[in-house]
Structure 1
Amino acid sequence: MSKLNWGMVGGGAGSQIGPAHRLGAGLDGAFAFAAGALDHVPDAGRAYAQSLGVAPDRAYGDWREMLEGERVRDDRVDLVTVATPNATHYEITKAFLEAGFHVLCEKPMTMTVEEGEEIVRIASATGRICAVNYGYTGYSLVRHMRAMVARGDLGRVRLVVAEFAHGHHANAADADNPRVRWRYDPAQAGVSAQFADCGIHALHMASFVTCQEVASLSADFASCVESRTLEDDAMVNFRMEGGAVGRLWTSSVAIGRQHGLTLQVFGEAGGLRWTQEQPNQLYWTPLGGRVQTIERGEAGLSPEADRASRVTIGHAEGMPLAFANIYADLAEVIRAAKEGRVPDPAADLYPRAEDGLRSMAAVHGAVASAGRQGAWVDARPPMFRAP
């Protein structure tokens, strides 16, 4: 089976996220790294792409050059990953979708709700995939949590508790470090810092696992490092369309926390707990029973979990393999469309443009709520609200 062609915008030398995407896209042999515009400095981007094996005529100086070069090729890329600074996501994603390319965009998909709604409409009108890289939903046991909820193991879900807290921006003396400062600069980060950067991962995971969307929320933001304009700590209470209550804490000043992405789901008949730093274990407690440890790779898991498990039980799987599961989903869906068949249902789990839009609506809703001393606000995008 021939490989699909893959291209990347951003993610150049020194990028935090670029290597994880390249590892994820290449892991299964489904994608060939065929084209790239990897740096805002054209010559540096061309040179780095070629050092990674991209042919010179497909190592582009910027995304516009890549768009024009690829759109006329018979072997044009099947999927474009957008891994550039946040403020550029909308423009680049929109242009590639309109030109007929499938896109995987890093989060946040857009900076405004209005831009997010436009991306959803464009993806629908063109029939192109617009996926958003909520990559942690690629973990095998996160997918098993979703399957357990869906088949009723927990009964009705009552409560979801999500966290994404780290302490890597806690040093006030480091506030002027360019790698830190931009995250709290409204001109570069938008209306929110920590909630838009990390909190929406936890919020999306809550929706992904419970299959319930966030309907309303109440937020409290704090800038614990006083020089920051945007928040470095947030507490968000939310209520979901299916009736579940949610609590979310996200922070970048929690000294001692390294990554801190944790999800707990409590239903009428049992509870689940999973943390990203120990992703091979899922803790399940049935009502009236003892805590049970579900191991990634063990027998009897759901098809969704089995498809997303890559190495034998007892061996660690990490973030690049979770990303690889998102790419495997996309490869299966793209191939199925090319071949005129229905894709594997267990692959139909990649986050969509609609998820990116809901996240942006939640961000703007949380900012509005925090500005009104925690008033409850509608967290849904206008296009998804009942008339």
Structure 2
Amino acid sequence: MKRLQWGMIGGGEGSQIGPAHRMGAQADGNFVLAAGALDHDAERGKDYAQRLGVAADRAYGNWQEMLEGEKSREDRVDLVTVATPNSTHFEITKAFLEAGFNVLCEKPMTMSVEEAEEVVKIVEKTGQICAVNYCYSAYPMVREMRNMVAKGEIGQVRLIVTNFSHGHHGDAADADNPRVRWRYDPEMAGVSGQFADCGIHAMHMASFIAGDEVRSLSADFASTIGSRELEDDAMVNFRMENGTVGRLWTSSVAVGRQHGFEIQVFGETGGMKWFAEQPNQIMYTPLGGRTQIIEKGEGGLSDEAARLSRVAIAHPEGFPMAVANIYVDLAAAIRGEAHGAFPSATDGLRSIAAVHQAVASAKADGAWLDARPPMFR
């Protein structure tokens, strides 16, 4: 099977997310890193790309050079990953989609709802793939939970409780650290800090597992470190289209919590829990029965969970392999094969709409607001 050509924008040397993408994209032999504009410093980006094995003529100084260089090649890249600061996502994604490239964009897909709606319309017009890296939805056991809900194994979903809370930004003395500061700067992060950074993963996960969409929400935001313009703690209540009730807490000042992403799904006939720090297991409790542990790699799992597991039972695969599963699904889609439910531009649109409405709700003392994008109301 021929490997697909892959290009990356951003994610340069020292990047937090870049290595996960490079490991993930190339883990299963589907993609080869063929082009890149990896750093805002052109020479540093070119040098790093070549050290990663990219040919000199495809190691670009910026994304504009990469767009011009790739679109005229017969062996142009099949997929472009956008892993740059939030404020640049829209213009890069839009430009590459309109030039006929498939795109995987880091979240948030855009800074505004209007931009996100434009991306969705471009996808509808061009037929190109635009995915958004809500990679936690690609853990095998999350896919298993989604399958169990779809098969009715816990009945109608009544309640979802989820949180994505950590304490790694809890030190006020570290507020000027560049890797921390940008997340609470409206010019770089947009209208929301912690909810847009982490909480939206939890909200997307709720929709993904339930097979349902958030209809309305009520939010309370707090900036517990006074120098921050954007929130570092948020509580969001939400209601879904089919009546499911949702409770979501997200924080970056919960000192003592490390990663802190977990989700519990409660249905008419059972409940389930998944915790990102123990991603190989689902805790499943049937109504009136004992709690059971369902393990990644064991017999009897759905095809969707089994096909995304690479190693034997009890062996962890971890975060880069969850990212890899997004690329597995994208490779299948690019080749015209059956694939799983990778997060799409529509998911990116729904997410940014929820972010803006949560901000508005928090400013209105928790008023309940319609969370749907205008084009879906």
- In structure 1, the partner of 2:321 is 321
- The alignment status of 1:351 with 2:349, answered yes or no, reads no
Q: Displacement of 1:233 after TM fit?
A: 0.1
Alignment of structure 1 residues 300-319 onto 2, 5 Å: 300-319=300-319
Distance in 1 (CA, whole Å) between partners of 2:89 and 2:120 is 14
1:254-283 deviation line (CA, Å, top 9, x unaligned): 001111110100000000000000001100
Taking the TM superposition and a 5 Å limit, the aligned residue runs for 1:122-201 are 122-201=122-201
1:291 equivalent in structure 2 = 291
Matched, 1:250 2:250: yes
State the match for 2:25 in structure 1: 25
- Residue in structure 1 matching 2:373, options 369, 374, 381: 381
Alignment partners' CA distance in 2, 1:301 and 1:177: 44
- Per-residue deviation, residues 299-357 of structure 1 (Å, max 9, x unmatched): 00001100111110010110000011000000011111xxxxxx32xx23100000000
Q: Distance in 1 between matches of 2:99 and 2:229?
A: 38
Q: Secondary structure at the match of 1:273?
A: strand
SS of residue in 1 equivalent to 2:258: coil
1:241 maps to what in 2? 241
Q: TM-score, normalised by structure 2?
A: 0.99
Contact 2:5 2:77 (C-alpha < 8 Å) held by counterparts: yes
Instruction: State the distance in 1 between where 2:309 and 2:159 align.
Output: 28
Residue 340 (structure 1) aligns with? none
Counterpart for residue 372 of structure 1: 364
Q: Report what 2:105 is aligned to.
A: 105
Task: Name the SS of the counterpart of 2:335 in structure 1.
Answer: helix
Task: Mark the runs of 5 or more structure 2 residues left unpaired by the alignment.
Answer: none
Q: Any conservation in 1 of the 2:281–2:293 contact (CA below 8 Å)?
A: yes
Q: Where do 1:12-91 residues align within 5 Å? A: 12-91=12-91
Percent identity of the aligned residues?
A: 71
Taking the aligned partners of 1:365 and 1:357, their CA distance within structure 2 comes to: 12
**What code does the residue aligned with 1:350 have?**
F
- Report the alpha carbon displacement of residue 61 of structure 1 after superposing the two structures with TM: 0.3
Aligned residue identity for 1:357: L
Could you say which residue in structure 2 is the equivalent of 1:114? 114
2: CA distance between counterparts of 1:177 and 1:330? 35
State the alpha-carbon separation in 2 of the partners of residues 288 and 317 from structure 1. 33
Q: CA deviation at 1:176?
A: 1.2
CA distance in 2, matches of 1:91, 1:238: 31
Letter in 1 for 2:374: P
* Distance in structure 1 (CA, Å) of the matches to 2:19 and 2:100: 26
Q: Which 4+ stretches in 1 moved above 4 angstroms?
A: none
TM-score calculated relative to the size of structure 1: 0.97
Unaligned segments of structure 1, at least 5 residues? 337-342
